Chains A and B, each alone.
Chain A
Amino acid sequence: MFKTFSKLLFLVLVGILLAPTISFAVPSFARQTGMDCAACHISYPELTPFGREFKLNGYTLGERQWLPVAAMMQFSVTNVSKNHDNTGATIMPHQNDPQFYVLGLFASGKLSDYLGMFVQWTYSNNGTQNADGAIRGHSGLDNTDIRLAINHDVFGKITVFGLNLNNNPSVQDVWNTTPAWGFPFNGPNLPVPGPAFSTVIEGGLSQQVAGLGAYFWYDRHLYGELSLYGNANNFFRVLSAGQNWHDGSVTRIDGRTNPYWRLAWNEDWGPSSLMVGTYGMQADIFPDPLNPTGPTNRFTDTALDAQYQYLSDPHIFTVQTTYIHEKQDYKASYDPTCDPSLGACLNAHDHLNTFKAKASYLYNRKYGASVAYFNTTGNNDAVAFSTGNNPVTKPDNQGYVFEVDYNPWTFARIALQYTGYTKFDGSRDVDALGLKPRDRNTLFLNTWFAF
Chain B
Amino acid sequence: MNYRILMSLGLIGMIAVSSAYAADAGPKLDQKLCSVCHGRGGTTSSDLFPQLAGEPAPYLVNQIKGFRDKTRADENAKRFMWGISSRLTDDDIQQLAAYYESQSPIHIGKISDQVKYDAGKNIFMKGNPDKGVPPCMACHGEKGEGNAATPRLGGQHEAYLKRQLKVFYGNERPAATAMHEVVKGLSESDIEAIAQYLQAQ
- Contact of A148 with B32 at beta-carbon distance under 8 Å, contacts A269-B45, A270-B45 already known: no
Q: Does A170 contact B (CB under 8 A)?
A: no
- Contact B18–A34 (Cβ < 8 Å): no
User: Closest CB-CB distance, A409 to chain B, in whole Å?
Assistant: 13
A158 at the interface (CB under 8 A from B): yes
Interface centre among B21, B37, B79, B83 (most CB of A within 10 A): B83
Structural contact, A235 and B48, CB atoms closer than 8 A: no
* CB nearest to A314 among chain B residues: B159
Distance, CA A312 to CA B44, complexed state (A): 13
The segment from B6-14, B91-99, B177-185 that touches chain A is: B6-14
Interface mask (B44-56 → A, CB under 8 Å = 1, otherwise 0): 1111100000000
Q: Tally of A-B residue pairs with Cβ under 8 A?
A: 78
Residues of A201-219 contacting chain B, CB below 8 A: 212, 214
Q: How far is the CA of A369 from the CA of B171 in the complex (A)?
A: 34
- Interface residue from A35, A163, A212, A313 paired with B48 (Cβ < 8 Å): A313
Using A33-B83, A148-B11, A150-B14 as known contacts, say yes or no to A271 and B47 having CB atoms under 8 A apart: yes
A39 within 8 A of B: yes
Q: Residue B104 at the A interface, CB < 8 A?
A: no
A191 to chain B, nearest CB (A): 37
- Which residues of B lie under 8 Å from residue A212 when comparing CB positions? 7
Q: Which residues of B contact A35 (CB under 8 A)?
A: 79-80, 82-84
Say whether chain A's binding surface is mostly helix, strand, loop, or mixed: mixed
Name the one of A38, A113, A256, A312 contacting B46, with C-beta atoms under 8 angstroms. A312
Interface residues of A in 92-106 (CB under 8 A from B): none
A36 in contact with B47 (CB, 8 Å): no
Q: Which residues of A contact B18 (CB under 8 A)?
A: 113-114, 148, 150
Q: Which residues of A contact B3 (CB under 8 A)?
A: 230, 256-257
Decide if B11 touches A313 in the complex (CB within 8 Å). Answer: no
Q: Quote the shortest CB–CB distance from A108 to chain B (angstroms).
A: 16
**Considering the chains assembled together, what is the distance between the CA atoms of A158 and B34 in angstroms?**
13
Residues of A within 8 A of B11 (CB): 148, 163
Given contacts A151-B32, A311-B46, 12 further A-B contacts (CB under 8 A): A34-B82, A35-B79, A35-B83, A35-B84, A63-B86, A214-B10, A230-B3, A235-B4, A256-B3, A312-B47, A313-B48, A313-B159
